[in-house]
Amino acid sequence: MSPTTAISLFCSSGIGDLALRRVGIDVLVANELVRERSDLFKNNFPTTHLIEGSIWEKRNEIINKTVELLKGRTLDFALVTPPCQGMSKNGRGKLLAEIRAGRRSKVDDRNMLIIPSLEIIKKLQPTTVVFENVPEMINTVIPFEDNLIGIVELIKLELSDWRVEAQIVEFADYGIPQKRQRLITVATKDERLLNSFNTEGTLFPKATHSANGCLFTEKWKTVRDVISDFEPLDALNKPKSEVNQLHYVPKLDKTKYFWVSNTPQGKSAFDNQCIECGCKKNPTHSARKNHEGVNRASIETPIHCLSCGKLLPRPVVTKNGQTRLMKGFTSAYKRMAWDSPASAITRNFPYACSDNKLHPEQNRTLSVLEALALHSIDPNEYKFEYINGKKAGSVAIRDTLGESVPPKFLEILFNYLR
């Protein structure tokens, strides 16, 4: 039997492609623009032909090389994961009104990358295509043939010979110990999948987990399930392990350490109460939408105890002799909860001021090793090294994780689609 084949567009460092490898799919050709990412990919997927450069310029090369390597076979899969930074959080109607009124540019160039992607797909005719992007893609419009069209609508228009279904997927519902949502769009011509769609009404596998669990699903996997047995670290006294080079955290200065060390599990340092008199009645930090619909943190959150007047252990800055509350979201300097999934692992996971990334008990942020575990990656299956043997730095590691999705979900999806 011939191996199952695939191409991977916008492969980045190859974290998503781990899923394809896990289920035995042979990635023939991949494409990536950023050199640092492609060097990591090449070191981890040496048998894949990687084409470096802009997909606009390299689309014909991608097509021709894939046809050459297929040797007359059918291409089974395409994984397409274009950059998400240009996607809009605004509602479709508001976005169109802003564009037509001239208050917003018609397009972010990164959003246009779907066009060469679709050209490649139409030429290569893979049986099944998986697009992955942020949920905001469902609201994003681009100019196409003198009109504005939603990206999902464009996929359906251009791939009219495929059955297309788009779903916003919560990865925690598939046993990943991380709350992260992505818009997954599946397009297929596979007769078995089409028959399944006619029966089940979907091209997606059923969720295996839920918040509380029930007869048909298990409870969400939690932070405790995954990292509770990891070696303890401390951002002031023991920031790195002596036995595992990926188990390390940034040091915190004494001021930030003071805020963090007084923060309870599941709470933000912005909500810390008085350690001088024990008062628990100081108002906590809050946020609300302004007249433009933008969520803004309160500027009235107290930094001094309402009972004794002492400075609370809350994030503050002092300038010109004046001390004020540090600007930040209500989820900044916040401890994770042991018995819930982690929040999304972003490129800022090593920072205490990032979203909900303090360890549930220890005075520190997540280590790289813990982020890998919460991202469903075995450190033995991926090397953070370049093809020249040089090890990737912390910035490249956090970018690699933050720009990817947990490969466990893609593994489940591709296993189902096969």
Mean pLDDT of 230-234: 98
In a domain, 294, yes or no: yes
> Does 40 lie in the same domain as 174?
yes
Domain membership flag for residue 299: yes
Q: What is the pLDDT of residue 104?
A: 54
Number of folded domains that form the chain: 2
Measure CA 206 to chain center: 21
Q: Using CA atoms, how far apart are residues 266 and 220, in angstroms rounded to an integer?
A: 17
Return all residues near 95 (Cβ < 8 A) that are at least 6 apart. 88, 104, 139, 140, 141
- Asked if residue 187 and residue 53 are part of one domain, the reply reads yes
Amino acid at 128: T
> What mean pLDDT is predicted for residues 101-130?
85
Confidence at 92, pLDDT banded by 50, 70, 90? very low
Q: Please, which residues have CB within 8 angstroms of residue 149's CB and are 6 or more apart in sequence? A: 141, 142, 143, 157
> Are residues 45 and 107 located together in one domain of the fold?
yes
* Residue 385 maps to a domain: no
**pLDDT at position 148:** 87
Quote the domain boundaries for residue 26: 4-217+405-417
Residue 143, pLDDT score: 85
Task: State whether 183 and 247 are in the same domain.
Answer: no
CATH code of the domain covering residue 186: 3.40.50.150
Residues 8 and 130 in one domain: yes
Same domain flag for 21 and 157: yes
What pLDDT is recorded for position 83? 79
Q: Give the mean model confidence (pLDDT) for residues 324-348.
A: 92
- pLDDT given for residue 90 in this prediction: 44
pLDDT at 160 over 60: yes
pTM: 0.91
Cross-strand bridge partners of residue 179: 343
In this prediction, residues 203-214 reach a mean pLDDT of 96
Regarding whether 161 and 285 lie in a shared domain, the answer is no
In this predicted structure, which of 76-90, 166-180, 209-223, 348-362 has the lowest mean pLDDT? 76-90
pLDDT given for residue 275 in this prediction: 96
Q: What is the pLDDT of residue 330?
A: 81
Same domain, 197 and 247: no
- Same domain? 148 vs 286: no
Assess whether 17 and 103 both reside in one domain: yes
Kindly tell me if the per-residue pLDDT of 106 is higher than 70: no
What does the pLDDT read at residue 136? Answer: 85
Mean pLDDT along residues 343-352: 94
Average pLDDT of the segment spanning 321-344: 92
234 forms bridges with which residues in the sheet? Answer: 238
Q: What is the 3-state secondary structure (H, E, C) of the chain?
A: CCCEEEEEECCCCCHHHHHHHHCCEEEEEEEECCHHHHHHHHHHCCCCEEEECCHHHHHHHHHHHHHHHHCCCCCCEEEECCCCCCCCCCCHHHHHHHHHCCCCCCCCHHHHHHHHHHHHHHHHCCCEEEEEECHHHHHCEEEECCEEEEHHHHHHHHCCCCEEEEEEEEHHHHCCCEECEEEEEEEECCHHHHHHHHHHCCCCCCCCEECCCCCCCEECCCHHHHHCCCCCCECCCECECCCCCCCECCCCCHHHHHHHHCCCCCCEHHHCCCCCCCCCCCCCCCEEECCCCCEEECCCCCCECCCCCCECCCCEEEECCEEEECCCCCCECEECCCCCCEECCCCCCCCCCCECCECCCCCCECCHHHHHHHCCCCCCCCCCECCCCCECCHHHHHHHHHCCCCHHHHHHHHHHHC
The band of 355, judged by pLDDT with boundaries at 50, 70 and 90, is confident
- Considering the domain boundaries, does residue 387 fall inside one? no
Token pair 């939603």 is at which residue?
150
Confidence band of 88 (pLDDT split at 50, 70, 90): very low
Q: Of 38-47, 132-141, 408-417, which range is least confident?
A: 132-141
Quick check: 159 pLDDT over 60? Answer: yes
CA 334/CA 354 separation, integer angstroms: 8
Tell me whether residue 112 is exposed, middle or buried, using C-beta atoms within 10 angstroms of its C-beta: 0 to 12, 13 to 18, 19 or more.
middle
Q: Is residue 209 part of a domain?
A: yes
Could you tell me if residue 226 is inside a domain? Answer: no
- Shared domain check, 204 and 255: no
Measured CA to CA, the distance from residue 337 to residue 196 in angstroms comes to 39
Task: Kindly state the percentage of the chain with pLDDT values over 90.
Answer: 80
pLDDT score, position 170: 98
Mention every residue, 6+ apart, whose C-beta is less than 8 A from residue 359: 335, 336, 365, 366
Q: Is the pLDDT of residue 80 over 90?
A: yes
- Does pLDDT of 89 surpass 60? no
* Contact criterion met (CB below 8 Å) for 233 and 364: yes
Question: According to the model, what pLDDT value does residue 103 have?
Answer: 54
Residue 253 lies in a domain: yes
Q: Is residue 158 part of a domain?
A: yes
Q: Are residues 198 and 252 in the same domain?
A: no
pLDDT score of 93: 45
Compute the mean pLDDT over every residue in the chain, rounded to the nearest whole number: 92
